[in-house]
Amino acid sequence: MSGALSGVSCLVTGAGGFVGLRIVQMLLEEEDLGELRAMDKTVSGHLLQTCERSQKKIQVKVLEGDIRDKEFLHKACQGVDLVIHTAAIIDPTGHVSKETFMSINLHGTELILESCVKNNVRYFIYTSSMEVVGPNTRGDPIVNGHEDLVYDSTLGSCYGESKRQGEWAVLRASGRELQNGGSLVTCSLRPTYIFGEGSQFLQMHIDQAIQNGGVFHRISKKEALVNPVYVGNVAWAHVVAARAMRDPDIVKKMAGNFYYICDDTPHMSYSDLNHALGAELGLGVEGRLAFPYPLLYFVASIMELVSFLLRPFIRFVPPLSKHLLILLNTTFTFSYKKAQRDMGYSPRYSWAEARRMTSTWIASILPQRKEELKKK
């Protein structure tokens, strides 16, 4: 289906982000687009360089603006055929308020959907997350989960809840009548935990390992298996979905549906993923959690209670939350078979390739990170 997006005008929101930038790069490399609009709240040097390299081949516009700015979105969507909406705020530390999560991840999504309807944008792909499902507050495991699975998704995360409501808005909007009488077609992609070059979370763990004598902290039990996905395969899934939505037969299956996106990365814990990516560079990993899991859960509960009691006086953000502890220590794996069956997705990069490219990136930043941390 190569060339299926020939002549298409595409808007990518969050274009300077970890996933958004890879989608922009892949679209520019793979497709003969009529136009690409790369939108972000703050335009990074990486995004500008990526877009400038392709200016001769494809018309590229870089748009700087907020996803909550209604007038800006209206102008950004004029003349666009396809929107890939990756813009979101992510924060596992608890420093971002629920109001901020909702205003960006939910209200911003609702605003751009309205802009699509008013501007006759036909196709809309939403970058969701496995955290719209869980893990739930009890830490119930999922093994090779699929789209028809019934799971008690009582979430303990403002991020997960904001993304879930954003996804609902996207899927409900599929079939909405456009101003020109056509109809909007939407779908949602739910990646598992994303790793790869440029990951801020991975860099944070690398910094901690450097400060811990070259050993990654054990943040998850070895038996808490997840199936991480390489960022290049997540970007590829968006390109495959965009191509498939242009096919009149395939789009009937995809309209209003969500898909889990993962790849053939071996199932392992988050800590063992860090080790697998850093082992060739001499980075080790602790053998076990610093304290037994029940004790860590008790400590997290006490800290959350203290935070609640102090709320009228000062804002205290606990360094460890129950949700984060459950997330890191719950077996949570999914299958990409439905995405493969409906739209023809299969991973573009093997685990060996993803591991090699990520390890090469770690090697490139390791000396600088060591020097910067030494100065602190």
Residues involved in catalysis: 163
The answer to whether 38 touches 64, Cβ cutoff 8 Å, is no
Angle, CA 11 vertex, CA 159 and CA 33 arms, to 5°: 140
User: What's the rounded Cα separation, in Å, for the pair 352 and 291?
Assistant: 33
User: What's the rounded Cα separation, in Å, for the pair 205 and 219?
Assistant: 10
**Which strand ranges, in their side-by-side order, compose the sheet holding 9-13?**
59-64, 35-40, 9-13, 82-85, 123-127, 185-191, 257-261
User: What's the rounded Cα separation, in Å, for the pair 199 and 244?
Assistant: 28
User: What's the rounded Cα separation, in Å, for the pair 376 and 30?
Assistant: 43
User: In the numeric block, which tokens belong to residue 59?
Assistant: 């018309």
Residue 324 to residues 220, 245, 300: CA-CA distances in angstroms?
Answer: 10, 35, 9
Is the Cα dihedral 123, 8, 240, 84 positive or negative? negative
Beta bridge partners of 125: 84, 187
3-state secondary structure 191-204: ECCEECCCCHHHHH
Q: Name the helix (H) or strand (E) containing 117.
A: helix 108-118
